[in-house]
Chains A and B, each alone.
Chain A
Amino acid sequence: DTAVSQTPKYLVTQMGNDKSIKCEQNLGHDTMYWYKQDSKKFLKIMFSYNNKELIINETVPNRFSPKSPDKAHLNLHINSLELGDSAVYFCASSPRGTGSSGNTIYFGEGSWLTVV
């Protein structure tokens, strides 16, 4: 069983479209994250949720909106896609929430988004 799963794995879409990436973890973790990896391989935190509550919202355009229906799911919705949004988006999870550092973070397999 995949611990952190995200769909779709590949997504090619046109500029201006709206798309969503779904993420689910079956590890019972309290905290979930979205990371963006750009063409230069730089991994940057976008959002962090703890028990469905937004904890971190880094400098990310408002076109990106995370949704956490329950603590096992954290979906990423992107409006009005732009060429610069092309990247690999990784979902991740860890056992405990804010204030409890030192938790191993587990990554999903990534979603390759290409905007044309």
Chain B
Amino acid sequence: GENVEQHPSTLSVQEGDSAVIKCTYSDSASNYFPWYKQELGKRPQLIIDIRSNVGEKKDQRIAVTLNKTAKHFSLHITETQPEDSAVYFCASSGGQAGTALIFGKGTTLSVSS
């Protein structure tokens, strides 16, 4: 089945710096790649997603890139703020798992002011 690897597991940056989180997936049939942000004690919330027919997508300070050939995708956060501190999960779906999301193990992002 699908396997999603996510790196790094922890990331500490200074306010205003950029943060990059990378994921790779194993199922070449996967075609949907969302990113979720989870604050302490809260549910995962979708922050951005990308489909396999698109190479890059931006939403204000957040961008996601997808390289289907290499089977990896990345989350880029620019001008980080303390409120960006949370656990970020990448995920994939559309392959053998159907619509179910297969998650990476998460990245704990800490933004210090």
Contacts and interface: CB of A to CB of B under 8 A. Distances in A.
Interface residues of B, number: 25
A41 B100 contact: no
A103 B93 CA distance: 9
B47 to A, nearest CB: 11
Contacts, number: 69
A109 interface: yes
User: Taking each of A90, A97, A103, A106, which has the highest tally of chain B beta carbons within 10 Å of its own beta carbon?
Assistant: A103
Interface in B82-98: 87, 89, 93-94, 97-98
Interface residues of A, number: 29
Nearest to B49: A104
B43 A110 contact: yes
Nearest to B106: A41
B72 interface: no
Interface in A75-108: 90, 94, 96-108
Contacts of A107: 43-45
Label chain A's interface by main secondary structure.
Answer: loop
Contacts of A63: none
B34 A48 contact: no
B22 interface: no
Interface string B19-44: 00000000000111010001000111
A56 B2 CA distance: 13
B76 interface: no
Interface of A: 31, 33, 40-45, 48, 50, 55-56, 90, 94, 96-110
Interface of B: 30-32, 34, 38, 42-46, 49, 51, 87, 89, 93-94, 97-103, 105-106
25 contacts: A31-B99, A41-B38, A41-B105, A42-B106, A43-B89, A43-B101, A43-B103, A44-B103, A45-B97, A48-B98, A48-B99, A48-B100, A56-B100, A90-B44, A96-B99, A97-B98, A97-B99, A98-B99, A99-B98, A99-B99, A101-B98, A103-B99, A104-B49, A107-B45, A109-B43
